[in-house]
Chains A and B, each alone.
Chain A
Amino acid sequence: MSTTVTVGLGSCGIAAGANKTYDKIKALKESDNLDFDLKKTSCIGMCYREPLVEIVDDSGTYIYGDVDAERAIEVIEKHVNQHDPIRDFIVYTDLFDAPENDFMNSQVKIVLRNCGYMDPESIEEYEARDGYKAIKRIIEEKIPADQVIDTILKSGIRGRGGGGFPTGLKWKFAKANQSDEKYVICNADEGDPGAFMDRSILEGDPHSVLEGMIIAAYSIGATGGVIYCRAEYPLAIKRLNIALDQARQRGYLGKEILGNKDFNFDIYIKEGAGAFVCGEETALIASVEGERGMPRKRPPFPAESGLWRKPTNINNVETLNNIPWIVLHGAEAFSKYGTEKSKGTKVFALAGKVRNSGLVEVPMGITINDVIMKLGGGIKNDKKFKAVQLGGPSGGCIPQYLSETIVDYDSVNATGAIMGSGGMVVMDESTCMVDVAKFFLDFTCKESCGKCTFCRVGTVRMLEILERITNREGREGDIEKLEELAYEIKDNSLCGLGQTAPNPVLTTIKYFRDEYEAHIVHQKCPAKVCRPLLTYTVDQEKCTGCMVCLKNCPANAITGERKQPHLISQELCTQCGVCYSKCKFDSIILT
Chain B
Amino acid sequence: MRIARVYKKEAVTEADAIDLTLLDPLIKKYKGKKGNVIPLLQGAQELYGFIPRAAFEHLSAGTGLPLSDMFGVATFYAQFRLKPVGKHIVKVCHGTACHVQNANEITEAIEEALKVKDGETTEDRLFTLESVACLGCCSLAPVMMIGDQTYGKLTGNAAVKVIKNIRLAEKN
Residue ranges of A at the interface with B (Cβ–Cβ < 8 Å): 11-12, 14-16, 47-48, 50, 190-196, 199, 231-233, 270-271, 273-276, 287-293, 308, 349, 351-353, 357-358, 389, 392, 423, 425, 427, 431, 436, 439-440, 443, 446-447, 449, 581
Interface string of B36-56 (1 = CB under 8 A from A): 111101100000000000000
Number of chain B residues close to chain A: CB under 8 A? 41
B119 within 8 Å of A (CB atoms): no
Contact of A289 with B35 in the complex, beta carbons under 8 Å: yes
Contact of B136 with A233 in the complex, beta carbons under 8 Å: yes
B2 within 8 Å of A (CB atoms): yes
Contact of B79 with A15 in the complex, beta carbons under 8 Å: no
In the complex, A447→B1 CA distance in Å? 7
Interface string of B1-29 (1 = CB under 8 A from A): 11100000000000000000000000000
Which of B79, B135, B139 counts the most chain A CB atoms within 10 A? B139
Contact of B138 with A199 in the complex, beta carbons under 8 Å: no
In the complex, A353→B80 CA distance in Å? 34
Contact of B140 with A290 in the complex, beta carbons under 8 Å: no
Residue ranges of B at the interface with A (Cβ–Cβ < 8 Å): 1-3, 34-39, 41-42, 72-73, 76-80, 94-97, 99-101, 105, 132-141, 143, 150-152, 156
In the complex, A194→B1 CA distance in Å? 13
Contact of B35 with A288 in the complex, beta carbons under 8 Å: yes
Secondary structure of the A side of the interface? mixed
Q: A275-B76, A425-B97 are in contact. Are A443 and B133 (CB under 8 A)?
A: yes
In the complex, A439→B103 CA distance in Å? 12
Contact of B139 with A292 in the complex, beta carbons under 8 Å: no
In the complex, A103→B38 CA distance in Å? 43
Which B residue sits closest to A199, measured CB to CB? B136
Contact of A290 with B138 in the complex, beta carbons under 8 Å: no
Contact of A293 with B34 in the complex, beta carbons under 8 Å: no
Q: List, sorted by A's number, 25 A–B pairs whose CB atoms are closer than 8 Å.
A: A15-B140, A15-B151, A47-B137, A192-B134, A194-B95, A232-B134, A232-B136, A271-B38, A273-B41, A273-B77, A273-B78, A274-B77, A275-B77, A290-B38, A293-B77, A351-B139, A352-B97, A352-B141, A353-B101, A423-B96, A431-B100, A436-B100, A443-B1, A447-B1, A581-B156
B73 CB, nearest partner CB in chain A, Å: 6
Contact of A349 with B34 in the complex, beta carbons under 8 Å: no
Contact of A581 with B96 in the complex, beta carbons under 8 Å: no
Contact of B136 with A446 in the complex, beta carbons under 8 Å: no
Additional pairs, 13, CB under 8 Å, beyond known A290-B35, A351-B96: A15-B150, A47-B140, A192-B134, A231-B42, A273-B41, A273-B77, A274-B78, A290-B37, A352-B141, A353-B100, A392-B96, A447-B1, A449-B76
In the complex, A276→B3 CA distance in Å? 13
Contact of B34 with A290 in the complex, beta carbons under 8 Å: yes
A390 CB, nearest partner CB in chain B, Å: 11
Which of B35, B37, B138 counts the most chain A CB atoms within 10 A? B138
In the complex, A50→B139 CA distance in Å? 9
Contact of A232 with B1 in the complex, beta carbons under 8 Å: no
Contact of A194 with B152 in the complex, beta carbons under 8 Å: no
Contacts of A14 in B (CB 8 A): 150
Which B residue sits closest to A447, measured CB to CB? B2
Which A residue sits closest to B98, measured CB to CB? A193
Interface pairs A-B: 9 shortest CB-CB: A47-B139, A193-B95, A351-B138, A273-B77, A194-B96, A274-B78, A290-B35, A15-B150, A351-B97
In the complex, A13→B157 CA distance in Å? 23
Which of A231, A353, A439 counts the most chain B CB atoms within 10 A? A439
Contacts of A292 in B (CB 8 A): 72-73, 76
Contact of B96 among A11, A270, A389 (CB under 8 A): A389
Contact of B73 with A291 in the complex, beta carbons under 8 Å: yes
Contacts of B79 in A (CB 8 A): 231, 273-274
Contacts of B152 in A (CB 8 A): 15-16
B13 CB, nearest partner CB in chain A, Å: 27
Contact of B97 among A232, A289, A357 (CB under 8 A): A357
Contact of A193 with B96 in the complex, beta carbons under 8 Å: yes
Q: A15-B143, A193-B133, A290-B35 are in contact. Are A273 and B100 (CB under 8 A)?
A: no
Contacts of A392 in B (CB 8 A): 96
Contact of B96 with A425 in the complex, beta carbons under 8 Å: yes
B86 CB, nearest partner CB in chain A, Å: 19
Which B residue sits closest to A380, measured CB to CB? B101
Contacts of A290 in B (CB 8 A): 34-39, 73
Contacts of A427 in B (CB 8 A): 100
Which A residue sits closest to B40, measured CB to CB? A290
In the complex, A425→B41 CA distance in Å? 35
Contacts of B77 in A (CB 8 A): 273-275, 293
A15 CB, nearest partner CB in chain B, Å: 4
B126 CB, nearest partner CB in chain A, Å: 23
Which B residue sits closest to A288, measured CB to CB? B35
Contacts of B136 in A (CB 8 A): 11-12, 190, 196, 199, 232-233
Contacts of B80 in A (CB 8 A): 273
B29 CB, nearest partner CB in chain A, Å: 14
A270 CB, nearest partner CB in chain B, Å: 8
Contacts of A274 in B (CB 8 A): 2, 77-79
A143 CB, nearest partner CB in chain B, Å: 33
In the complex, A231→B136 CA distance in Å? 12
In the complex, A392→B95 CA distance in Å? 10
B70 CB, nearest partner CB in chain A, Å: 10
Contacts of A431 in B (CB 8 A): 100
